[in-house]
Amino acid sequence: MSRFLFGPVPSRRFGRSLGIDLSPDTKRCNFDCLYCELEGSRPVKKYEEIGNIPPSPTEILEELERGLPNFPNLDVVTITSNGEPTLYPYLEEIVEGVERLKRKAHLKGERWKSLILSNGSRIGEEKIRQILKELDIVKLSLDTANPKTFKKLDRPVRGIKLEEIIAGMEKFRQIYRGELIIEILVVKGLNDTPQEFEKLRDALSSISPDRVDISTIDRPPAYRVEPVPTEKLWELAKILGNFPIYIPSRLRETTLPQFPNLSRQELMETLRRRPLTEEDLKLFPPQTQTLFFQLEREGIISKREIGTLKFYSLRP
Ligand code: SF4
């Protein structure tokens, strides 16, 4: 039985993922987000503030090494936590171990990438930036660029400052050659206004992530907060400009009407303004999809893979 491994989980955002949980016994997080779906304890500054001593990295990595042969064809091995993984005191050893096992797996023909899912709270620390930069994909959350909203929505422990997180993300981008993904979770009445997204756009343009994922609540949250309609996510996404943006289609399939039929010129303009995923393209009527394939054959569309998602845009 696995104590630290879970999955493989099929994820639209990252493909087939095998997870490593660095806090399997209880939730440990330095935020207390209104939308959190994890049951648990008060927010903590340090891993050791609650419960037992941390599990040893050797114990975790041995379990990963034993488990990996059972899960061929993974897309990612994901460092995560029942809470925030950067609170785990031996994160450096875990990252080194995962990278070592990845090199071994690649020699045997596997192709998975290493990924961490973090709330971004410690990216202002040089040590954490140095550790995370070794990974192939780093996903950091940034729900808002407004300190007041940050306090209300993500409810960090005392001492965590949004300005330092954003500055840390900018510094991280300067040293990180892998795929940097920023995730924004939108909550009704809190960070769903154009003003909020204008601030986020300014922050994102200096962070320069490879991809931005925008979602809303889709599982029962810890507190009484509500999701926004999917149409709203698309509206807000437009404010962010031309980043590769991913809005999960699980929500789209149920609530969003199909995209309109576009002329050749309109489709080219759309692709110029914002890269589209394969899933986005499926939301257009067949005539527009045919036009897309025609543009592709003409060689004026470029394709870029970020995480396991393919984004299409107009060649510059
Ligand atoms: S950062 Fe993640 S784990 Fe922590 S409170 Fe927020 S949603 Fe929950």
Q: What is the predicted pLDDT for the residue at 259?
A: 66
Q: What is the predicted pLDDT for the residue at 249?
A: 59
- Is residue 66 exposed (0-12), middle (13-18) or buried (19+ Cβ within 10 Å)? exposed
Mutate which of 45, 78, 154 for ligand 1? The one with the most ligand atoms within 8 Å of its CB, which is 154
Q: Do domains 5-248 and 258-316 have the same CATH topology?
A: no
Q: What is the predicted pLDDT for the residue at 1?
A: 62
The CATH number of 5-248 is which of 3.30.465.10, 3.20.20.70, 3.40.50.150, 3.30.70.2190?
3.20.20.70
Query: Is the Cβ atom of 165 under 6 angstroms away from ligand 1?
Result: no
Query: Is the Cβ atom of 225 under 6 angstroms away from ligand 1?
Result: no
Of 172, 116, 179, the closest CA to residue 306 belongs to: 179
Please give the mean pLDDT across all residues of the chain.
90
- pLDDT tens per residue across span 167-196: 999 999 999 999 999 999 999 999 999 999
Mutate which of 23, 32, 38, 160 for ligand 1? The one with the most ligand atoms within 8 Å of its CB, which is 38
Q: Measure 108 CA to ligand 1 centroid, in angstroms.
A: 36
Helices (H), 176-248: 194-207, 230-240
* 68 DSSP 8-state letter: G
Q: What is the predicted pLDDT for the residue at 306?
A: 78
Query: Is the Cβ atom of 228 under 6 angstroms away from ligand 1?
Result: no
Query: Which segments of the chain have a pLDDT < 50?
Result: 250-255, 257
Q: Where are the domains of the chain?
A: 5-248, 258-316
- How far is 192 from 228, CA to CA, in rounded Å? 8
Which amino acid belongs to residue 190? L
Phi, psi of 97 (to 5 degrees): -65, -45
Q: What is the predicted pLDDT for the residue at 42?
A: 80
- pLDDT tens per residue across span 83-141: 999 999 999 999 999 999 999 999 999 999 999 999 999 999 999 999 999 999 999 99
CATH architecture of 258-316: Orthogonal Bundle (1.10)
Of 223, 270, 231, the closest CA to residue 251 belongs to: 231
Task: Work out which ligand 1 atom sits closest to the CA atom of 185.
Answer: 7
